[in-house]
Structure formats: structure tokens, C-alpha cells
Amino acid sequence: MGNIDVGENINIKKIMHVMRHAPHGTIYTYEGLEMILIMAAYEQDLSVAFIGDGVYALKKDQNTAAIGIKGFAKTFMALDGYDVEKLYVDQLSLEERGLTEDDLLVKVEVLGSGEIGKLMNEQDVVIHH
């Protein structure tokens, strides 16, 4: 009898992190980012959706000196190095905040809310931050 190769990827889950809060003033975005980096070490199929004020987490040129905290926005740039490459931004959320894709630190896919909702339905787990 030959060996049966069940594959190494049998326990991979599709997990979407949804960032809904502004990056500063609460711990949601920072803790969400930490959780994403930890999960990336376990080679899961990760994606991140930025909705509502969550889009501000990716805004270029954030200056946090006035609020006395160290900025962490550039850490989102490191996600690519952890194979977290599926970054989605809600189009209406960008438009309502006067932002465009050019205002963001990282390459994202801008989608309508219906398309993001469809992606959420395809996940094994959705985690809201």
C-alpha cells in the first residue's frame, strides 16, 4: 500500500479580520493588528477588511505625536511579509471620509459593501475589531 498524502494544509481556515474603528483612541485596531500577525505565523488564509473609520488605520502620514502615542500604521506595511496580502477597503467608507486609494499606505482592493459581505460569507471565521 502506498502512502496517502493528506496534505499539510488540512487545518487551514479562511479567517477575515474586520477593522471598523479609528486607529487611535481605542485599542481595537492595535490589538487586531497584533492578532493578525500572530495568526499569520500559523499559516492561515487571512484577509483584512477595513470598513467605516477602520479605513483611517491605513491612511498615509499619520502623526501621533500630539496624542502622545507611538504610531503603528506602518506596521500594516509588514503584513505582506507575513503573506497577508488580501486587504479590502469598503469604497463608500473611503468616499465618506474624503479618501482615495492613493491616500493609503498599502495596496488594497477597493470593493463595494455587497462584495465585502460576500467575502465575509465565504470565511470560516470573521473577527471584528
Give the whole-angstrom CA distance, residue 43 versus residue 53: 28
Is 3 domain-assigned? no
- Domain CATH number, residue 81: 3.40.1260.10
Is 9 domain-assigned? no
- Give pLDDT tens digits for 45-61: 999 999 999 999 888 87
- Is the pTM of the predicted complex or chain greater than 0.85? no
- Give pLDDT tens digits for 71-107: 566 677 788 888 999 999 999 999 999 999 999 989 9
Is 2 domain-assigned? no
SS (H, E, C) 21-50: CCCCCCCHHHHHHHHHHHHHCCCCEEEEEE
- Round the average pLDDT of the chain to a whole number and report it: 84
Residue 6 in this model has a pLDDT that exceeds 60: no
Is 26 domain-assigned? yes
How many structural domains comprise the chain? 1
Residue 98: which domain range?
Answer: 14-128
Is 40 domain-assigned? yes
Q: Which has more confidence, 10 or 22? A: 22
